[in-house]
């Protein structure tokens, strides 16, 4: 063990939905730990793998050739039973038996709750925000968001070609669970005419569709040859919407749901670099004796928060960004 480190062995797990850049984070955690004289254990399949002792000594070969790969080489899983204290205690005992005295959890806010519970059981734990949805309030960046937005943007560019050629309207549904960040970003990046997000939806679907119909007719009159609508998963109903919009406008309308392609693919440079920085920082926090922390990125800086505080924070889409998206779509 390094003389200066508060931990001897760091375990790493990925939990919840996979996100591109998780491998860069795993690599950074392992290599920084080794540099600091700390041993590393990989835990497969999230909390479920921890409970099943799917734990192995990580060596340098494991972290080779992974920075450019999407997904997570540690696999990921959801584990309902981990929400019960009995299993959290069991997991902490397993960590102690395996000599794991520091843990890095890479996942979304559900995974953070698990990390918090393990910290309460005496395992020093630091969490990293890994989700394509960007729906974690304490941070302006989450691992995988940038790649997902770029994948969606490229797909929408392709859909635009056929939409223009056939002078159609296209509704493209993107992921994000209850958050509209992916929709807003890929919508602006791909020059969409309309972007619909849960954060700015009052629940009145007929009103929303009437507004879209007006928008299509207005832009057609201005000479537009296509009309791209980006619809967030949290709004959904893209196929039904397409039918009703076609009936209301007389413009042929097609819906495409992009789905899991947004979770995969080689991570962008941004996801690789930010994930690398966050992975290294997690290790240095653990080596300094920190626990129950989550790493975020805010106002141009990497920063760490108490997990409880982080889970209590709130955030919203930038109103100016939402407004200009509409101006630029005209």
233 binds, among ligand F6P, ligand ADP, none (CB under 5 to 8 A by kind): ligand F6P
Given a contact cutoff of 8 angstroms between Cβ atoms, the answer to whether 82 and 48 are in contact is yes
Q: Does 90 bind ligand ADP (CB under 6 A)?
A: no
Is residue 198 at the binding interface for ligand ADP, with CB under 6 A as the rule? no
Whether 133 is catalytic: yes
Q: Is 16 annotated as a binding residue?
A: no
Question: Residue 83 binds which one of ligand ADP, ligand F6P, none, with CB within 5 to 8 A depending on kind?
Answer: ligand ADP
Quick check: 133 binds ligand F6P (CB under 6 A)? yes
From the list ligand F6P, ligand ADP, none, partner contacted by residue 144 (C-beta under 5 to 8 A by kind): none
What the block records as the tokens of 69 is: 């790969």
What is the C-alpha separation between 289 and 102, in angstroms, rounded?
Answer: 9
Query: Measured from the CB of residue 319, what is the shortest distance to ligand ADP in angstroms?
Result: 26
Stretch that binds ligand ADP, among 20-28, 101-109, 206-214, 297-305 (CB under 6 A): 101-109
Q: Judge contact between 293 and 305, C-beta under 8 A.
A: yes
Cite the DSSP H helix spans in the chain: 22-35, 46-51, 85-97, 109-120, 145-165, 181-189, 205-221, 238-249, 269-287, 307-311, 319-328
Is residue 263 part of the contact set for ligand F6P (CB under 6 A)? yes
Residues facing residue 171 across a β-bridge? 229, 255
Q: Which two tokens stand for residue 294?
A: 């989550």
The region that residue 27 occupies, defined by phi over 0 for left and psi between -120 and 50 for alpha, beta otherwise, is alpha
Contact map string, positions 203 to 242, toward ligand F6P, x by CB under 6 A: ------------------------------x---------
Residue 273 CA to chain centroid, in angstroms?
15
Interaction of residue 113 with ligand ADP, rule CB under 6 A: yes
Residues 15-54 that bind ligand ADP (CB under 6 A): 15-17, 47
In whole angstroms, the minimum distance from the beta carbon of 251 to ligand F6P comes to: 29
Cα 197 from chain centroid (whole Å): 17
Burial class (CB in 10 A: 0-12, 13-18, 19+), 248: middle
Catalytic residue among 101, 133, 146, 304: 133
Whether the CA torsion 104, 108, 113, 114 is positive or negative: it is: negative
Q: Which does 322 bind (CB under 5 to 8 A by kind): ligand ADP, ligand F6P, none?
A: none
Return the active site residues: 133
| Residue numbers at the binding site for ligand ADP (CB under 6 A) | 15-17, 47, 78-79, 82-83, 107-111, 113-114, 117, 131
| Residue numbers at the binding site for ligand F6P (CB under 6 A) | 17, 131-133, 175-177, 233, 263
């Amino acid at each position: 063990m390094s003389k200066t480190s508060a931990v001897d062995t760091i375990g790493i797990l990925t939990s919840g939905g996979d996100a591109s850049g998780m491998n860069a984070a795993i690599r950074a955690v392992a290599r920084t730990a080794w540099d600091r004289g700390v041993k590393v254990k990989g835990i497969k399949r999230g909390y479920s793998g921890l409970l099943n002792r799917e734990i192995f000594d990580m060596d340098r070969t494991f972290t080779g050739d992974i920075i450019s790969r999407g997904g997570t080489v540690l696999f990921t899983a959801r584990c309902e039973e981990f929400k019960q204290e009995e299993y959290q205690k069991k997991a902490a005992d397993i960590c102690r038996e395996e000599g794991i005295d520091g843990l890095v959890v890479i996942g979304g806010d559900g995974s953070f709750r698990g990390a918090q519970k393990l910290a309460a059981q005496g395992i020093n734990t630091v969490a990293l925000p890994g989700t394509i949805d960007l729906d974690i309030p304490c941070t302006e960046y989450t691992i995988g968001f940038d790649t997902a937005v770029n994948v969606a943007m490229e797909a929408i560019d392709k859909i635009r070609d056929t939409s223009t050629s056939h002078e159609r309207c296209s509704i493209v549904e993107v992921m994000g669970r209850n958050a509209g960040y992916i929709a807003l970003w890929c919508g602006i990046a791909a020059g969409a005419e309309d972007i619909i997000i849960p954060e700015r939806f009052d629940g009145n679907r007929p009103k929303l569709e009437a507004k879209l119909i007006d928008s299509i007719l207005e832009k057609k009159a201005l000479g537009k040859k296509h009309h791209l609508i980006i619809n967030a998963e949290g709004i959904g109903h893209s196929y039904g919407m397409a039918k009703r919009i076609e009936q209301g406008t007389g413009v042929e309308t097609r819906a495409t749901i992009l789905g899991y392609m947004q979770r995969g693919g080689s991570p962008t440079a941004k996801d690789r670099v930010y994930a690398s920085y966050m992975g290294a920082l997690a290790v240095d926090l653990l080596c300094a004796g920190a626990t129950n922390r989550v790493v975020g990125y805010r106002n141009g800086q990497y920063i760490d928060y108490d997990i409880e505080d982080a889970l209590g924070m709130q955030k919203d889409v930038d109103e100016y960004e939402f407004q200009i998206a509409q101006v630029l779509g005209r």
